[in-house]
Amino acid sequence: MRTIVLVISLLVLVGCKSSDPTITEAEAQRTKMLIDNKNYELDMSWATPLASNAMNQISNANLLPVDSRTGRINLMGSSSYIRVKGDSLEVYLPYFGTHQLGHRPGDTNSAIQFVGEPDKYEASYNEKKELTQIYFRMKERTEQYDVNIRVFKNGNANVNVNSTHRNSISYTGKLKEIEEK
C-alpha cells in the first residue's frame, strides 16, 4: 500500500511540472536588448481573425492554408513580419477578415502593408509580467492602424492590429534579430 501511495505521489508531482522549458536569463536579456536597440523582426506564424460569416464561408470552401481553420490561420512558410530597424518600420501581414470600407479598385492584395516611420512608437518593459509592451500607429493612405504587441521574455509575441477600415485581427509569432541580406 505504501508503495502505491509513493508511486501515485511521484506521478502527481511529475504531472504538475511545467511543460515550458526554463528561460535562461541570457535569453531574456537578448529579447530585451533587441527591442531596446530597435533592431528586431517579429516573424508571424498564426493569424486569428474575428469570426464572421464570410470567414466561415471561406473555410467551408477549403480556401484557407493547410492546417488552418476559421479562427486560426497557419502563416508558417509565408512571408509575414514586422521589422523594426531604428526609427524605420516595415510591415507585411496577410489579412483575413472583413473590410468595413471598400478597398481601392484593382487592389488584389488586401494585406496590411507599411514601410516608413510610424506616427507613434512606444516600448515599455513590465517587470511584474516579465514582458515588453510595444505600441505603434501607422497610416497608409486613408487607413490608420493601431498595433499593440506583447513580447514575452522567451521571444514569443502576440500582436493585435486595429484598423479604421477593417475588423481587428491578431497574430502570434516569434521575435528574432534582423538577418542582414
Query: For 81-125, how does the pLDDT look when each residue is reduced to its tens digit (9 = 90+)?
Result: 999 999 999 999 998 877 776 555 545 568 999 999 999 999 999
Strand partners, 82: 42, 91
| H/E stretch holding 32 | helix 25-36
- Are 113 and 145 within 8 A, CB to CB? no
Give pLDDT tens digits for 36-49: 999 999 999 988 88
- Are 149 and 135 within 8 A, CB to CB? yes
* pTM for this prediction: 0.79
Q: For 11-16, which contacts have Cβ atoms below 8 Å and span 24 or more sequence positions?
A: none
Q: How far apart (Å, rounded) are the C-alpha atoms in residues 157 and 150?
A: 6
Nearest to 96 by CA among 47, 61, 137: 47
